[in-house]
Chains A and B, each alone.
Chain A
Amino acid sequence: MQGKTIYVIARQELTINIRNRWTLIFALVFGVLVVSIAYVGIMAEGFSGVQSFTRTSASLLNLVLYVIPLVGIVMGTVSFTGDKGSMELLFAQPLVRTEVMLGKVLGVFASIALSTIIGFTLAGLVVVLGNGPEGIASYLSFVVLALVLSLAFLNLAVLVATACRRKAKAFGIALFLWFFFVLFYDLMVLGSTLLLKGQTANRALFLSLFGNPVDMVRVATLIILDNVTIFGASGAALLRFLGGGTLSVLALIGGLCLWTILPLVVSHRLLLKQDI
């Protein structure tokens, strides 16, 4: 495997994505929403100033948990179900398939990260100018978690696209996954725990947290922001089982890493065996 080839493909993918109007629309909408949310604090605090980094992060959390996975999964599917002619031409070059996969993932991720970071930076500037840098470390951790979440969903999209091959089918499954993890999963878990009792229900809640990267990011962010009161059942179970915030965050980061790496490993195995 050659790093240079991966870099060349990633750069090309980044260029294509940056010029894509959907990326621009996402960057613009995300930036406007993030800055607006940061400004809403002015009204909430009676025009006494812009809200702090901690409150801004908490306010942005829901937006991030809905939008970032959607962007990751859509852009990943678009990139990996590209036109057959262009894929054939690329894979026929003197390179190995692993390089194409990693290059494309890095390129798409870089474009998502760029759009996201611009939005977060604008909001950060608003907060710093209005309220000073207090709590900026938590805010930066939140940004990193948002980026990891986008990578996890991007890699899920790679897996779906590699397994399905057909664009329409891949899009259908990818959007179903977004719906499942963002909207349906919590309902399913809470519903199923109603059937369980005591310690078993707690254990199920604890384990369920590691089955959904969206929940992991939500709980990890809330722990980092020291906002345990709005945790929900799974987060409370996590703290009870692991006994502390630091260990819980580390466990969640480990879980997120697995969610990021495993889909890519499976996609890679599929890609090596299949026809382009």
Chain B
Amino acid sequence: MIEVQRFSKRFGENWAASDISFQVKEGEVFAFLGPNGSGKTTTLRSMVGLTVPTSGRILINGVDVRKFPRETKRFMSYLPQRVVFPDNCTAREVIDFFCRIRDLPPGRAEGVMQAYQFADLSGQYVGEFSGGMIQRLGLAVAALPDAPILLLDEPTANLDPQGVKRFREFIMHQKENGKTILFSTHLLHEVEQLADRVGVFVNGRLAAVEYIDSLRRTYRATTSIEDMYLHYVEKRDYERN
């Protein structure tokens, strides 16, 4: 269970995230929806301890991420928006490195190499990889620890259609295995296809948290899900003014 309690983050004079609270249940797929700069990435990054909260706290299974980073991060696997690996390392070395960092048995690396089709490419340097292969390696690294919680920051940004398809299959597979998944996106159809619940981010605030089914029921008759999102944005702007 993930619990974000009154999380706020300020960069200089700007509040990137302000008073954000929500909970994510075990096995749930939760999407952060919002335009660029709405606070999705800041919130997601703070959940793995990359961003230090200005106030508030984040609990993973009741344990504070800030106070116990090692213990809480064992439950999580995070994939940044832009995945980068050292050019002069092979896929095998990258997987082995993360395997050793997480103290996983060597057999786990072997299994992931096979599952993500790197077994035949194990000697090839990452610098020779295509964008799609690097993404696949990123997903392999994310899947490596078999962590119960997956955090993915705009995973389909900059991907070609094949990469997007691969990512969706990855999410569905992880969901079937009972993983709790949080991902950020600004693509509404992605939320509709993959998420159970969505948190709508507008100007650094969490404007709403809704079940996808409930949203569909509410807005089906009159508007599209895009209109629903714009409704929240306008409502937020109205409240600010």
Residues of A close to B98: CB separation below 8 A: 93
A5 nearest CB neighbor, chain B only: B101
Q: Are A15 and B45 in contact (CB under 8 A)?
A: no
Selected from A86, A92, A97, the residue in CB contact (under 8 A) with B48 is A92
Which B residues, 61 to 81, have Cβ-Cβ distances below 8 Å to chain A?
69-71, 73-74, 76, 78-81
Q: What mask results when residues 144 to 173 of chain A are scored 1 for a CB within 8 Å of chain B, else 0? A: 000000000000000000000000000000
Main secondary structure of the interface of B (DSSP, over half): loop
Main secondary structure of the interface of A (DSSP, over half): helix
Taking the closest CB of chain B, its distance from the CB of A275, in whole angstroms, is: 5
Total number of residue pairs linking A and B with CB closer than 8 Å: 78
A19 contacts chain B at the CB level, 8 A cutoff: yes
Selected from B69, B80, B89, B93, the residue in CB contact (under 8 A) with A88 is B80
- By size class, the interface of chain B is 20 to 34
Selected from B51, B52, B71, B83, the residue in CB contact (under 8 A) with A89 is B83
B76 nearest CB neighbor, chain A only: A92
A93 nearest CB neighbor, chain B only: B101
Selected from B69, B78, B97, B103, the residue in CB contact (under 8 A) with A12 is B97
In the complex with contacts A8-B101, A86-B84, A15-B73 CB distance below 8 A: no
B101 nearest CB neighbor, chain A only: A93
Q: Are A95 and B70 in contact (CB under 8 A)?
A: yes
B85 contacts chain A at the CB level, 8 A cutoff: yes
Once the chains are docked, how many angstroms separate the CA of A273 from the CA of B102? Answer: 24
For B52, B84, B102, B103, the residue with the greatest tally of chain A CB atoms inside 10 Å of its CB is B84
B74 nearest CB neighbor, chain A only: A94
Residues of B close to A12: CB separation below 8 A: 86, 89, 93, 97
Residues of A close to B101: CB separation below 8 A: 5, 8-9, 90, 93-95
Residues of B close to A273: CB separation below 8 A: 52
Residues of B close to A89: CB separation below 8 A: 78-80, 83-84, 141
For A9, A92, A96, the residue with the greatest tally of chain B CB atoms inside 10 Å of its CB is A92
Residues of B close to A275: CB separation below 8 A: 45, 50-52
Interface size on A, residues (CB 8 A): 27
Once the chains are docked, how many angstroms separate the CA of A94 from the CA of B73? Answer: 5
Selected from B50, B52, B93, the residue in CB contact (under 8 A) with A92 is B50
A197 contacts chain B at the CB level, 8 A cutoff: no
B100 contacts chain A at the CB level, 8 A cutoff: yes
B79 nearest CB neighbor, chain A only: A89
A276 contacts chain B at the CB level, 8 A cutoff: yes
B86 nearest CB neighbor, chain A only: A16
B82 contacts chain A at the CB level, 8 A cutoff: yes
Residues of A close to B49: CB separation below 8 A: 91-92
B117 contacts chain A at the CB level, 8 A cutoff: no
Which A residues, 78 to 109, have Cβ-Cβ distances below 8 Å to chain B?
83-86, 88-97
Once the chains are docked, how many angstroms separate the CA of A4 from the CA of B97? Answer: 12
B23 contacts chain A at the CB level, 8 A cutoff: no
Residues of B close to A62: CB separation below 8 A: none
Once the chains are docked, how many angstroms separate the CA of A19 from the CA of B93? Answer: 13
Q: What mask results when residues 38 to 67 of chain B are scored 1 for a CB within 8 Å of chain A, else 0? A: 000000010011111000000000000000
Q: Are B73 and A95 in contact (CB under 8 A)?
A: yes
Q: Which positions in B face A, CB cutoff 8 Å?
A: 45, 48-52, 69-71, 73-74, 76, 78-86, 88-89, 93, 97-98, 100-103, 141
Could you list 12 examples of A-B contacts with CB < 8 Å? A12-B93, A15-B89, A85-B84, A92-B76, A92-B80, A93-B98, A94-B73, A94-B102, A95-B73, A95-B101, A275-B51, A276-B45
